[in-house]
Amino acid sequence: MEGLTLSDAEQKYYSDLFSYCDIESTKKVVVNGRVLELFRAAQLPNDVVLQIMELCGATRLGYFGRSQFYIALKLVAVAQSGFPLRVESINTVKDLPLPRFVASKNEQESRHATSYSSDSENQGSYSGVIPPPPGRGQVKKGPGSHDAVQPRPAADQQEPASPVVSPQQSPPTSPHTWRKHNRHPSGGNSERPLAGPGPFWSPFGDTQSGSSAGDAVWSGQSPPPPQENWVSFADTPPTSTLLTMHPASVQDQTTVRTVASATTANEIRRQSSSYDDPWKITDEQRQYYVNQFKTIQPDLNGFIPGSAAKEFFTKSKLPILELSHIWELSDFDKDGALTLDEFCAAFHLVVARKNGYDLPEKLPESLMPKLIDLEDSADVGDQPGEVGYSGSPAEAPPSKSPSMPSLNQTWPELNQSSEWETFSERSSSSQTLTQFDSNIAPADPDTAIVHPVPIRMTPSKIHMQEMELKRTSSDHTNPTSPLLVKTSDLSEENKINSSVKFPSGNTVADGYSSSDSFPSDPEQIGSNVTRQRSHSGTSPDNTAPPPPPPRPQPSHSRSSSLDMNRTFAVTTGQQQTGAVAHPPAVPPRPQPSQAPGPSVHRPVDADGLITHTSTSPQQIPEQPNFADFSQFEVFAASNVTEEQDGEAEKHPEVLPTEKASDPATSLRIAQADGKIEEKTAASVPANVSKGTTPLAPPPKPVRRRLKSEDELRPDVDEHTQKTGVLAAVLASQPSIPRSVGKDKKAIQASIRRNKETNTVLARLNSELQQQLKDVLEERISLEVQLEQLRPFSHL
C-alpha cells in the first residue's frame, strides 16, 4: 500500500513478528490465524483490528503479505497509542511505540519497544513469543512459547507467590518462558515483582533459547526478570525445597536483584554476543554464578567439593546422567571439586540444558576455565593441584585474554603439575607456563653438565697419567699401561708431566708438578683429575670410559718380568720408563737405588749387554739400570775377545764368552744370571766347547753333576747346554726386569731373548725327556743283565 517508513527498531520488530507469524515459512504470507492471534493479543477492540486489517489491505488481498503485515503492525501501534486509525497515520505518526501484543506480551513488547526505541542496538530477540531471529544459536521457534503465552494469563495469577511455578509446563523449555511470562503480570511493567522469594536462585541462562527473548524483555526492566528467568531449579514442590536450598537466597534476592538490574543491560549485550558464542557467560550471569558459588563456598578461590556441588546441581532437576555429563565437562582438572570457573561453567551448562540446549560433547572454549594468570596466581594460593583461574571468561581480563588460549592448549600437559604455584609468583605472561621446564632447570652448566668425578688417590694419578698418555701418545699399544705406571716415582712423574703435551692445558701439568709427593697431595691430584676429566670432556677422548682401576701388579713372573705392557706404554714420550717398570705397590724408588739392587746381576748383564751390543746384531738398549759395568769390564773385555774368537768356542773362565757364544739365545739370560754363570763358567765352557750350540754357562752345580755323570753321553753336552741355557734363562729372568730405563729397543730385545729362551728351553726339554727315556731304558737293561748275572752268581 502506501509506502511505509519504519524505524530500524520497528523494522526489526516487525520482521520478527512476521517471522513469528510466518509459521509456514513462506516468508511472504502470514498465516491469517496467527496474525489474528497477534492482533488479538494487541488487546485492541475487534473492530479496530478489523479496521487495521482493512487498512493494511489484507482484507482485500485475503492474506497478509509482508507489507500488509508491517502496515498492520504499524496500525496496531497507532491504535495502541491512541491515535486514530488512518492510513496516513502510518507515516505521520512519529515516534510511535512498537505495537504491543498480548497482555503480557504487550508489556514485554512495550518494554521491548521502549528498549528498542531506547536502545539502538538490535537485540535480536524481542518478546518471549518471538523466536530469536534466525542465525542465532539454538533458535527456539515461537510457537511453543506463543502457546505458552495463551495459558499464561491464567497462570499469571499465581505468580508472585509461587516462585517458579510452571505447572503447565512439560516441555522443559517452556517453563522458562512461561515462568518469564508469569513473572510479568499482565499489567505490570516495570515492576517485575520478583515476587517469588528466594527460590529464583537457579539462574536460568536465557541466553540461548527462546527464553532469551524474555531476556531482551527484561532488558528494560528491573533486576528480577533475569532472575526469574534463571530460576530453573524450582518447580512446584520446590518452593520449600528451594527455600531450603537457598535459605540465603532470600537475602540474596535483593542483591541479586540489584545485580540483575545491573546486568540486564549486559544481558542484552550478552544475547547479542551470544549470537556468536552461545556458550558465553554474560557478566550478570557470571555475577550470579559467583554469588551462588559464595553461598556454598565463601572463598572465591576455594573449591566446592563434589558432594556439595552434586547437591547443588541436583536441585536443577536435571537427570543425573546429564548432570554427570555436565560435571565431566566442567571439572576440567578432574579433581572432584569445582573452582569458581569450573562452577560457573557447570552452572552455565545447567542453565543451558534447562533451556533446552543440548550439552556439548566438549567443553566450549568460552567456558573453559582460563588457566592461571601468573600475576593473579598469588591469590590462588590454596589450590594444591588446581590451576589458578583468571577472571571470568566472559570478561576479557586485560592482559590475560590474549594469553589464555595458549594456556588452554598447554593445559593437558600442565594438568598434572602442581608447579604452577611456583610460577605464579613469577610475573610474565602465561607463556612461561609452557616453558616452565626451562625455568625450572637452572642454567648452571657446571652442575648440569659436569658429572661427578671421583677423586682417587693412587689410581687417580694413574688415571691422569693414562690420560696424558692417551693424549700424548697415539700409538699406545696398551691403554692400560699407564695404570701400571707406578705413580710411585714422583720425580718421574714430574718428568712425565713436563714431557707430556697435555692438549687441554697446563693446569694438569701444573698440578702434577706442584704435587711433589703423590700421597701427600691427593686432593690436588684429584682436582687435577677433575680438571683433567673435564678437559677430557672437551677432548676427543671424551667418550673414553674412566680408566679401570689399576691392575694389581702381578709379581714378576717370568713372562711378565719385563712387564712389557708398562714398558711399551711408557715408551713414547716418557724417558723414565724405569719408573714404569716398578710395580705400583712399590714406593717410589730413586733411580740410583735401582741400580744397586740388581747390580749384582747387572754387571753380568751389563757385560753381556755391552758385549752383545757390540757384537750381536741385536740392538740392545743401553739398559743403564744394568749398569755397574765396572765389575765386568774385565769380563766384557774378555768376552769381547773371546767372542771374537768364535762363538762356538768358549773359554771356561770367561762367562761372557759363553754369553757371547750364546748371543742369540741367551744374551739377556747370560746377563741376568751373572753369578751363577760365573760359577758354572768353568764347567760350562767345557761342555760348551763341545757343543756347538751356544749355551749359557750352566750355572747349576746340578748340571755339573749331570754332566760328569753323563760325560760319555754325547747328549749330555746338549743336556748341559740345555740345562745351562735353562739355568741361564732362569737366572737371567729376574734380573732382566730390573733394568732401568728400558726403551723400546731394550724391550724388543728382551722379548726376542725371551722367545729364544723359550724355544731353547722347549728344545731342551724335549731332548731331556728323550735322554731320560734312554737312560731309563738303559737302566732297565742293566738291571735285567744284573738279574741274569746274579742268579748265576748265586748259582
Partner 1 sequence: MAVCIAVIAKENYPLYIRSTPTENELKFHYMVHTSLDVVDEKISAMGKALVDQRELYLGLLYPTEDYKVYGYVTNSKVKFVMVVDSSNTALRDNEIRSMFRKLHNSYTDVMCNPFYNPGDRIQSRAFENMVTSMMIQVC
Pick out residues in 235-294 that bind partner 1 (CB under 8 A): none
Supply the minimum distance, in Å, between the C-beta of residue 106 and partner 1: 42
**Which residue, 331 or 489, is less far from partner 1 as judged by CB?**
331
**294, 325, 558, 744: which one contacts partner 1 (CB under 8 A)?**
325
Strand partners, 304: 338
Q: Does the footprint of partner 1 cover residue 296 (CB under 8 A)? A: no
Residue 41, C-alpha cell as written in the block: 493479543
For residues 463 and 548, the answer to whether their CB atoms sit within 8 Å is no
362 CB-side CA count, 13 A: 3
**39, 101, 327, 626: which one contacts partner 1 (CB under 8 A)?**
327
Pick out residues in 360-389 that bind partner 1 (CB under 8 A): 361
Residue 573, C-alpha cell as written in the block: 714420550
**Which residue, 323 or 684, is less far from partner 1 as judged by CB?**
323
Among the listed residues 95, 131, 99, the one whose alpha carbon sits nearest the alpha carbon of residue 216? 131
For residues 129 and 142, the answer to whether their CB atoms sit within 8 Å is yes
Alpha helix ranges (H) inside 119-237: 142-149, 151-156, 173-183, 211-219, 224-230
Residue 682, C-alpha cell as written in the block: 768353568
**92, 324, 418, 435: which one contacts partner 1 (CB under 8 A)?**
324
419-424 contact pairs (CB < 8 A, 24+): 420/372, 420/377, 420/387, 420/388, 421/377, 421/380, 421/381, 421/383, 421/388, 423/372, 423/374, 423/377, 424/372, 424/374, 424/376, 424/377, 424/378, 424/380, 424/388
**228, 331, 468, 521: which one contacts partner 1 (CB under 8 A)?**
331
Q: How far is the C-alpha of 477 from the C-alpha of 473, rounded, in Å?
A: 9
**153, 172, 306, 405: which one contacts partner 1 (CB under 8 A)?**
306
Piece of the chain touching partner 1 by CB under 8 A; list 91-99, 166-174, 333-341, 451-459: 333-341
Pick out residues in 171-210 that bind partner 1 (CB under 8 A): none
Supply the minimum distance, in Å, between the C-beta of residue 335 and partner 1: 7
Strand partners, 365: none
Supply angle C-alpha 228, 231, 236, rounded to 5: 110
Piece of the chain touching partner 1 by CB under 8 A; list 23-31, 65-73, 246-254, 306-314: 306-314
Piece of the chain touching partner 1 by CB under 8 A; list 275-283, 302-310, 596-604, 778-786: 302-310
The CA-to-CA distance between both ends of the chain, in Å, stands at: 178
**Which residue, 61 or 320, is less far from partner 1 as judged by CB?**
320
Q: Residue 253 burial by CB count (10 A; 0-12/13-18/19+): exposed, middle or buried?
A: buried
Q: How far is the C-alpha of 269 from the C-alpha of 615, rounded, in Å?
A: 116
Q: Does the footprint of partner 1 cover residue 752 (CB under 8 A)? A: no
Supply the minimum distance, in Å, between the C-beta of residue 37 and partner 1: 41
Q: Does the footprint of partner 1 cover residue 358 (CB under 8 A)? A: no
Q: Does the footprint of partner 1 cover residue 712 (CB under 8 A)? A: no
Q: Residue 757 burial by CB count (10 A; 0-12/13-18/19+): exposed, middle or buried?
A: buried
**Which residue, 193 or 360, is less far from partner 1 as judged by CB?**
360
Torsion over CA of 640, 645, 648 and 652, rounded to 10 degrees?
Answer: -70
**Which residue, 412 or 617, is less far from partner 1 as judged by CB?**
412
For residues 462 and 485, the answer to whether their CB atoms sit within 8 Å is yes
Supply the minimum distance, in Å, between the C-beta of residue 310 and partner 1: 4
Piece of the chain touching partner 1 by CB under 8 A; list 175-183, 324-332, 632-640, 660-668: 324-332
Residue 533, C-alpha cell as written in the block: 676429566
* DSSP reduced 3-state for 64: strand
**45, 84, 336, 646: which one contacts partner 1 (CB under 8 A)?**
336
Q: Does the footprint of partner 1 cover residue 489 (CB under 8 A)? A: no
Pick out residues in 588-607 that bind partner 1 (CB under 8 A): none
**Which residue, 325 or 744, is less far from partner 1 as judged by CB?**
325
**Which residue, 165 or 323, is less far from partner 1 as judged by CB?**
323
**54, 147, 277, 335: which one contacts partner 1 (CB under 8 A)?**
335
Supply the minimum distance, in Å, between the C-beta of residue 294 and partner 1: 20
Supply the minimum distance, in Å, between the C-beta of residue 359 and partner 1: 9
**150, 158, 251, 307: which one contacts partner 1 (CB under 8 A)?**
307
**161, 300, 320, 396: which one contacts partner 1 (CB under 8 A)?**
320
- Name the DSSP letter for residue 542: G
Pick out residues in 669-698 that bind partner 1 (CB under 8 A): none
For residues 116 and 216, the answer to whether their CB atoms sit within 8 Å is no
**25, 94, 154, 321: which one contacts partner 1 (CB under 8 A)?**
321
**Which residue, 328 or 425, is less far from partner 1 as judged by CB?**
328
- Name the DSSP letter for residue 540: G
**Which residue, 145 or 339, is less far from partner 1 as judged by CB?**
339
- Kindly report the three-state secondary structure assignment for every residue of 72-103: HHHHHHHHHHCCCCCCCHHHHCCCCCCCCCCH
* DSSP reduced 3-state for 469: helix
Q: How far is the C-alpha of 169 from the C-alpha of 153, rounded, in Å?
A: 14
Piece of the chain touching partner 1 by CB under 8 A; list 23-31, 178-186, 314-322, 349-357: 314-322
Residue 129, C-alpha cell as written in the block: 513469543
Piece of the chain touching partner 1 by CB under 8 A; list 54-62, 309-317, 432-440, 731-739: 309-317
For residues 464 and 512, the answer to whether their CB atoms sit within 8 Å is yes
**Which residue, 188 or 360, is less far from partner 1 as judged by CB?**
360
**155, 309, 344, 368: which one contacts partner 1 (CB under 8 A)?**
309
Q: What are phi and psi of 383, to 5 degrees?
A: -115, 95
**67, 93, 121, 310: which one contacts partner 1 (CB under 8 A)?**
310
Supply the minimum distance, in Å, between the C-beta of residue 230 and partner 1: 21
* DSSP reduced 3-state for 547: coil
Q: Does the footprint of partner 1 cover residue 781 (CB under 8 A)? A: no
Cα Rg for the chain, rounded, in angstroms? 57
**Which residue, 9 or 414, is less far from partner 1 as judged by CB?**
414
Piece of the chain touching partner 1 by CB under 8 A; list 150-158, 329-337, 472-480, 705-713: 329-337
**334, 358, 517, 557: which one contacts partner 1 (CB under 8 A)?**
334
Piece of the chain touching partner 1 by CB under 8 A; list 166-174, 197-205, 318-326, 687-695: 318-326
* DSSP reduced 3-state for 573: coil
Contacts of 361 (CB under 8 A, 6+ apart): none
Strand partners, 30: 64
What is the distance, to the nearest Å, from the Cα of residue 421 to the centroid of all Cα atoms in its chain? 19
* DSSP reduced 3-state for 661: helix
H or E segment and range at residue 304: strand 304-305
Q: Is the dihedral of CA 197, 201, 202, 204 positive or negative?
A: positive
Q: How many residues bind partner 1 (CB under 8 A)?
A: 18
Supply the minimum distance, in Å, between the C-beta of residue 314 and partner 1: 8
61 CB-side CA count, 13 A: 18
Supply the minimum distance, in Å, between the C-beta of residue 247 and partner 1: 22
Piece of the chain touching partner 1 by CB under 8 A; list 43-51, 118-126, 330-338, 566-574: 330-338
Residue 737, C-alpha cell as written in the block: 726386569
**Which residue, 331 or 658, is less far from partner 1 as judged by CB?**
331
Q: Which residues bind partner 1 (CB under 8 A)?
A: 306-307, 309-310, 313-314, 320-321, 323-325, 327-328, 331, 334-336, 361
